[in-house]
Every structure is written in structure tokens, then in C-alpha cells.
């Protein structure tokens, strides 16, 4: 399958997980989603990542985001691994891990990159909107753990810019000023952005974050 691109409909699937059999769309419901893959069970970096997401789950929930992990190992292996994750990371793992032994989901989402490894999934990340469309894709090598603070920052930006005519500048964090979209005419800014704005250049106009 061709690589998923931004705006593509995220493929639906049925899968066995550590929380039972799920249908991906049913699992997401009206929520946003983060689907992230792991090269293998009982590996050190993955153990820290899954533990970190467990700790961050309230932050994802606050943003109406459901998380789900994937590895191409078995359900039995996942369940044993969870014990290690909970012990070493001091967490309770209360979100599902997909057991994708036949690699159906991995192939559906192009998570296996043969030039990196012919067998295991790379560290893929898909942020999926509540319209079931792909909003962000990231691919990390097996050796590099992900930055989940960055994923939360991106989700904040995606959810903000989906509802307002703004974009977020470099290194933006929730609560900081944002860029007014070029499609908004100067004469319409006052009505759309009553907090005011700073016109730096005709194409660079900043305004306080509108939903704060």
C-alpha cells in the first residue's frame, strides 16, 4: 500500500488487543486518536515510551484523544511485557496494545520499512482527527525514543487551527500568540479576532490565541 498522506482517511481495521478485540473506528468514536507502533516487545526504548504514554494519559484524555499502541508480537507476549512496563515505569497501562502478528495493521499503515528492518515496525506515529482523517505522520528509527510533549503540542495546534483561521509559529506552545491565516483580509480581522493583532508584515500578522 502507498504511504498514507495528510488528509487521507485513516484505514479502519479489526484487531486483537490487550483490552480485547476492537474495531478501530469504534474505539475512536468521536475522539481524536494517536496510533503508534513499536519494533518489538521487551525492548528498552519501547518500555519507556509505553510507560510515558501511561503517565501522560490524562493529558491526552483532556484533549479528547484516545491512544493505542502496536507491536507485531503476540497478545501473550504483550501481556507479559505489560508487567515489566508497569514495574519499571511505576505506571498502570490502561490503554490497548494491538497484537499484530500477521502484520495486517502494520502493512495497512506502512509501518515496516525494509531498508531499516524487514521484520519489525519502525516507530510510526499517526495523529487522526475526529473526522478519521490523518492529521500528522511521524517516523522515527528504532534507536530513537519519541518526544510525547511534542505530540501534545502538535495536537494542541491541530485542534486550535481546525476551529480558527490561524496557524501556529515555530516553537509555539499552548497559550502563546498565533499567526492569522493569510486568507483573512485585514478588514475582517477586528471581527474575527477581537483581542487585537500585531501587523509585522502584510503576510505576518500575530494575535493572541483566540480560545484562551
Q: What is the pLDDT of residue 188?
A: 95
Say if residue 71 is exposed, middle or buried (CB neighbours under 10 Å; 0-12, 13-18, 19+): buried
- The whole model's pTM is what? 0.92
Residues contacting residue 47 through CB under 8 Å, at least 6 positions apart: 81, 84, 85, 88, 89
Residue 88 has pLDDT above 90, yes or no: yes
46 counts as catalytic: yes
Model pLDDT for residues 40-86, shown as the tens digit of each residue:
899 999 999 999 999 999 999 999 999 999 998 999 999 999 999 99
Model pLDDT for residues 127-174, shown as the tens digit of each residue:
999 999 999 999 888 889 999 999 999 999 999 999 999 999 999 999
Q: What is the pLDDT of residue 51?
A: 98
Active-site pick, 15, 35, 46, 50: 46
Q: What is the H or E stretch that residue 99 is in?
A: strand 97-99
DSSP 162-205: HHSSEE--TT--TTS-EEEPTTS-HHHHHHH-TT--EEEETTEE
Q: What is the pLDDT of residue 175?
A: 96
Amino acid at each position: 500500500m502507498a504511504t498514507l498522506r495528510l488528509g487521507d482517511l485513516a484505514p479502519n481495521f479489526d484487531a486483537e488487543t490487550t483490552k480485547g478485540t476492537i474495531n478501530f473506528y469504534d474505539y475512536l468514536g468521536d475522539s481524536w486518536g494517536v496510533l503508534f507502533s513499536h519494533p518489538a516487545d521487551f525492548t528498552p526504548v519501547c518500555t519507556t515510551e509505553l510507560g510515558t504514554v501511561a503517565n501522560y494519559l490524562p493529558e491526552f484524555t483532556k484533549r479528547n484523544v484516545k491512544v493505542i499502541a502496536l507491536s507485531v508480537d503476540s497478545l501473550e507476549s504483550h501481556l507479559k511485557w505489560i508487567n515489566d512496563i508497569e514495574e519499571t515505569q511505576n505506571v498502570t497501562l490502561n490503554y490497548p496494545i494491538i497484537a499484530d502478528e500477521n502484520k495486517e495493521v502494520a502493512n495497512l499503515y506502512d509501518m515496516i520499512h525494509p531498508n531499516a528492518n524487514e521484520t519489525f515496525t519502525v516507530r510510526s506515529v499517526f495523529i487522526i482527527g475526529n473526522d478519521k482523517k490523518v492529521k500528522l505522520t511521524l517516523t522515527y528509527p528504532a534507536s530513537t525514543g519519541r518526544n510525547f510533549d511534542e505530540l501534545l503540542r502538535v495536537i494542541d495546534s491541530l485542534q486550535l487551527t481546525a476551529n480558527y483561521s490561524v496557524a501556529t509559529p515555530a516553537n509555539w506552545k499552548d497559550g502563546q500568540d498565533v499567526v492569522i491565516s493569510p486568507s483573512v483580509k485585514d478588514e475582517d480581522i477586528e471581527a474575527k479576532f477581537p483581542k487585537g493583532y500585531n501587523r509585522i508584515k502584510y503576510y505576518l500578522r500575530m494575535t493572541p490565541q483566540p480560545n484562551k
